[in-house]
Amino acid sequence: MQRWRLNRRRASSSTLVRDDVTFTIDDEISQLTKLQSGPCTSNLKALRSCRRLPIPTTTMLLAREANYSGQGRFSSADCSHVLGRYLPVNSPSEIDRMNSEAYVSQFSVDGSLLVAGFQGSRIRIYNVDNGWKVQKDINAQSLRWTITDTALSPDQRHLVYSSLTPLVHIVNVRTGMTDSRANITEIHEHLDFSVDGDRDSFNIFSIKFSTDGRELVAGGSDDSIYVYDLEANKLAMRLIAHTDDVNTVSFADETGHVMFSGSDDNLCKVWDRRCFAATGKPAGFLEGHLEGITFIDSRGDGHYFISNSKDQTTKLWDIRRMSSTTKSRTPRTYYDWDYRWMDYPAEARNQKHPCDRSVATYRGHSVLRTLIRCYFSPTHSTGQKYIYTGSFNKCVYIYDVVTGAIVAKLTWHNDAIRDCSWHPYYPVLVSSSWDHVVARWEFPGSPADSAA
């Protein structure tokens, strides 16, 4: 575990120093994280003898029984304070091993299902509550190279999958049939995102359901964001959003009004769906990365999100810092560098963007060869006090949001880890790797153990 010391405090941010490496973070997100992941105020007052955090679990349980909070139960912050210390870092075990690279692994919103996508035209849905048994084994249609993304509908009835093609396919996952072979045992309806019907025109890298399940939003290799109307079964909008591949799209919160996008043009952009159809312009820009954006994950509060980048960093952003224009060209002197087959130049790691608007920067993992993903840890069990990410160097990294320290480094796989997912309620994390394995990490005594 890395240990930092506080160097100075300003009105809006804190800077910590360790071994001449500085980490700066905005005070507001620090306070929000501490409130969301620490014991409630009434418990803190009652337990004044516990001057250091975290408060022991037994003490927290005694406080609950004594009803110090006056609620007769743990608050959500109390739950996060107790559960957040039990990191899913032990006992890695195989959920599945296939004959091709694993690209995607994601829990459903309620944690009852796990979706895993593989390069070899396969998507498997596992029933977490039934011993991780395969509930749906999907043989994908019209696959080009690999599955690039998958998404479950909000009601968990349908799954969409994308590839290096404008065609997205949708599958009913509630039919009761385990074996789903495209247009042989089940229909995999295709949704055509191309404007002119040219199915070789671009690739789709990222796809998301809207919060009401009526639309799909996608990012493509033709610099565009697409909106598909599922009820009308047609493409509703194409927006030329960036000047390079759009690798990732994400909604800001449950309203679905605000979206984020990240691109190989090194920019994160904020879009307000209530007005971008008319203006065709983003609500704002966020500069700071020196290379392309591979993934974006929202904190879900409409303000904060994180992004992974080929500049080998994860950055934390506050959209209230966005600008209406880009201030300068991104400084870059390594034009011959390509993340698909080259290591990141050592001399580039110390370079900084002159107009960096990020709230904090996290370093240690490796973003090479593929669009590696990063996430906030779950609200219920951790209070979103961690950021975790896959890495090309075969590890999963878990960072402390407030200090930037690497609190855990999960080492077991034999190849790059493109995706990973933390169970929304249990201390269980799943990683998907190019070593063909989807693995499960747990804390000893995890409730999910009993389901296995």
What string of H, E and C letters represents the secondary structure of the chain?
Answer: CCCCEEEEECCCEEEEEECCEEEEEEHHHHHHHHHHHCCCHHHHHHCCCCCCCCCCHHHHHHHHHCCCCCCCCCCHHHHHHHHCCCCCCEEEEEEEECCCCEEEEEECCCCCEEEEEECCCEEEEEEHHHCCEEEEEEECCCCCCCCCEEEECCCCCEEEEECCCCEEEEEECCCCCCEEEECCCECCEEEECCCCCCCCCCCEEEEEECCCCCEEEEEECCCEEEEEECCCCEEEEEEECCCCCEEEEEECCCCCCEEEEEECCCCEEEEECCCHHHHCCCCEEECCCCCCEEEEEECCCCCEEEEEECCCEEEEEEHHHCECCCCCCCCCCCCCCCCCCCCCCHHHCCCCCCCCCCCEEEECCCCCCCCCCEEECCHHHHCCCEEEECCCCCEEEEEECCCCCEEEEEECCCCCEEEEEECCCCCEEEEEECCCEEEEEECCCCHHHHHC
pLDDT of residue 76: 86
Average of per-residue pLDDT across 267-279: 88
60-69, 300-309, 343-352: which has the minimum mean pLDDT? Answer: 60-69
DSSP strand pairing (21-26 vs 215-220): unpaired
Res. 9: pLDDT tops 50: no
Average of per-residue pLDDT across 409-420: 98
Confidence of residue 73 (pLDDT cuts 50, 70, 90): confident
Interval 194-205: pLDDT, tens: 987 777 789 999
Res. 51: pLDDT tops 90: no
146's tokens: 């690999």
Res. 39: pLDDT tops 90: no
- What type of residue is 383? G
36-45, 117-126, 360-369: which has the minimum mean pLDDT? Answer: 36-45
Average of per-residue pLDDT across 404-408: 96
Interval 148-193: pLDDT, tens: 999 999 999 999 999 999 999 999 998 888 888 876 788 899 999 9
pLDDT of residue 446: 53
Interval 80-102: pLDDT, tens: 888 888 999 987 999 999 999 99
Res. 5: pLDDT tops 80: no
Alpha-carbon span 451 to 239, nearest angstrom: 45
Res. 18: pLDDT tops 60: yes
Interval 301-341: pLDDT, tens: 999 999 999 999 999 999 999 998 886 666 665 668 899 99
- Between 64 and 7, whose confidence is greater? 64
Alpha-carbon span 214 to 208, nearest angstrom: 11
pTM above 0.95, yes or no: no
Interval 212-260: pLDDT, tens: 999 999 999 999 999 999 999 999 999 999 999 999 999 999 999 999 9
